[in-house]
Amino acid sequence: DLEARLQSLQQDNAQLHAALATQSTKQADARAKLKFENQCLQARVNSLQRQLLDTSICDMDISMQDEVCIELTQRELESPSNPSKPTTTISPEEHKASNKQPAPLGAASRWNQQVFAYRERGNLMAQRQLNGEVFL
């Protein structure tokens, strides 16, 4: 009688262990699935943040973009660590012409800003050509 009861308890114990193992496996699977979904959502958030940054840069006033570009290019040219520093530089008059500021924003239309930005890009490209930079 005791042996039958012992076998019954051992079977119940084995069933409980099997159920516990099944439950642990399900929980591990659920955690893995949630981790994967979290990684997917994080990648989507990162993508949306990059798009937002790109959009805000695109929405930035064109002349502001060019001013930043010109300023950065000028810093590169003046940098002592620049190995391709040109031996011939542009004249002060050409430098002044490439750094002209636009009319005040209140007086300038969007068209004038775009024309100014186009000219600034041309001046920047001419400056780079004079300094021997390579275009890609």
Domain parsing of the chain, residue ranges: 1-59, 61-130
pTM listed for this prediction = 0.36
9, 17 contact by CB (below 8 A): no
pLDDT tens across 8-66, in order?
999 999 999 999 999 999 999 999 999 999 999 999 999 988 888 877 666 655 565 56
127, 98 contact by CB (below 8 A): yes
77, 131 contact by CB (below 8 A): yes
pLDDT tens across 63-115, in order?
655 666 666 665 666 665 655 545 555 555 555 555 555 545 454 566 677 77
Q: Which two tokens stand for residue 97?
A: 């012409």
Mean pLDDT of 107-134: 71
Q: For 100, list phi and psi in degrees, rounded to 5.
A: -65, 140
